[in-house]
Structure 1
Amino acid sequence: MVDPLVARRWSYRGLYLLLALTVFFFKLLPVTPMPRGVPGPDLMLCLTFVWVLRRPDFLPALFIAAVYLLEDLLFLRPPGLWAVIVLLACEFLRGRVILMREMSFLMEWALVALVLIGMLVLNRTVLAIAVVPQVGLGPAVAQVVLTALAYPLVVAASTRLLGVRRPVSGTIDSMGARL
């Protein structure tokens, strides 16, 4: 018999992978709803942050790394760089999950925006050190701003449509650890 909690975790991991592949598919299409020259928000990154902050047990670190390594390979970025940066950001946020439960949503949003800025700086610094051509600073900052603005919408969609909510205080997982 399969434990219902384990089955629920794996079903959400499958849903996350399906959503990631869907987002990747639409990003690969040659059409975009955004005006020319303006990058759209990184919805996959928002979704990852929402799930890590709401239910960190749904997305283990290796799963996140694998999805973002696939994204690096699909979009011809330096393999592993963005995956490592996203993984570092997710683990930073995962370490603050308990604190985030007591904070307001505005504080969570501000922390996510600061993490996005830190990710941009780290990515651009590593690419500059390696002398890799990169996108101009304007479009990169625009994408960070749009991603930060999209975060509340992704939170609402994940909470309302997908049911990814913070666990009730005192919830214990199958291993006996508090969520």
Structure 2
Amino acid sequence: MVELAPSGVWLYRGLFVLIAAVLMFTRLLPMGSEAGDWPGPDLLLCVIFAWATRRPDYLPVWLLGAVLLMEDMLLMRPPGLWTALVIVAVEFIRNRVTLTRELTFMVEWALVAALMVACLLAYRLVFTLSFLPQAGFGFAMMQTLWSILCYPLVVGASRITFDLRKPATGEVDSYGRRL
């Protein structure tokens, strides 16, 4: 099977930026958000983890950092904190790409769930150590649980819509490099 040329990689990177922009825009819309409502999932985080486990070459660190830093600014979070935590989690996955290629989906889902919870706990730990006000733990944990539950849906949508799949063992790109 012929792999994507370098322009195809850029197409997927542009697609990721477009998906991120749409998700950020919809997150900023004041739709049905009343006090006491349940938080929705962090779909951008699900997309990032789904793409990082399947094709980490589509998400270079500089692109991920730019998108997440823009999200930090738009959502008025401390700039760079969530960005750094997610990049560390994605690099953890990226450095184990040969291992995650062989994992079943349930084990991959558990790994991503553990990374999402770890990011949440580290984020809240930094807020606690710096005495910053933060939302209730139950609210934040509910958002993380929704994100964990939505992860399979995002993976399925990415597979069906964008044909984003894990590369097979021994598969090479157009330059002959192993994926």
Query: Normalising by structure 2, what TM-score?
Result: 0.93
* 1:9-50 Cα distance to aligned partner (Å, 9 max, x none): 000000000000000110000014899431100100000001
Structure 1 gap segments, 5+ residues each: none
**Which residue type is aligned with residue 79 of structure 1?**
P
Residue 167 of structure 1 deviates from its aligned partner by: 1.5
SS for the counterpart of 1:161 is: helix
- Seen in structure 2, the aligned counterparts of structure 1 residues 124 and 105 have a Cα distance that, compared at 3 Å, is same
CA distance in structure 2 between the aligned counterparts of 1:45 and 1:73, rounded to whole angstroms: 16
Aligned to 1:59: 59
Aligned to 2:155: 155
Aligned to 2:137: 137
- Seen in structure 2, the aligned counterparts of structure 1 residues 163 and 36 have a Cα distance that, compared at 3 Å, is farther
SS for the counterpart of 1:131 is: coil
Residue 4 of structure 1 deviates from its aligned partner by: 5.0
* 1:100-126 Cα distance to aligned partner (Å, 9 max, x none): 121110000000010011001100001
> Do the aligned partners of 1:41 and 1:143 also contact (CA within 8 Å) in 2?
yes
- Seen in structure 2, the aligned counterparts of structure 1 residues 117 and 175 have a Cα distance that, compared at 3 Å, is same
Percent identical among aligned pairs is 45
Aligned to 2:165: 165
Aligned to 1:97: 97
CA distance in structure 2 between the aligned counterparts of 1:138 and 1:107, rounded to whole angstroms: 25
CA distance in structure 2 between the aligned counterparts of 1:35 and 1:161, rounded to whole angstroms: 35
Residue 64 of structure 1 deviates from its aligned partner by: 0.4
CA distance in structure 2 between the aligned counterparts of 1:133 and 1:35, rounded to whole angstroms: 17
CA distance in structure 2 between the aligned counterparts of 1:33 and 1:108, rounded to whole angstroms: 32
CA distance in structure 2 between the aligned counterparts of 1:152 and 1:34, rounded to whole angstroms: 28
SS for the counterpart of 1:178 is: coil
Cα RMSD, aligned residues only: 1.8
- Seen in structure 2, the aligned counterparts of structure 1 residues 33 and 7 have a Cα distance that, compared at 3 Å, is farther
Residue 174 of structure 1 deviates from its aligned partner by: 4.6
SS for the counterpart of 1:133 is: coil
**Which residue type is aligned with residue 15 of structure 1?**
L
- Seen in structure 2, the aligned counterparts of structure 1 residues 37 and 99 have a Cα distance that, compared at 3 Å, is same
**Which of the pair has the greater relative contact order for Cα pairs under 8 Å at 6+ separation?**
2
Query: Normalising by structure 1, what TM-score?
Result: 0.93
- Seen in structure 2, the aligned counterparts of structure 1 residues 110 and 73 have a Cα distance that, compared at 3 Å, is same
Structure 2 gap segments, 5+ residues each: none
CA distance in structure 1 between the aligned counterparts of 2:34 and 2:103, rounded to whole angstroms: 33
**Number of equivalent positions:** 177
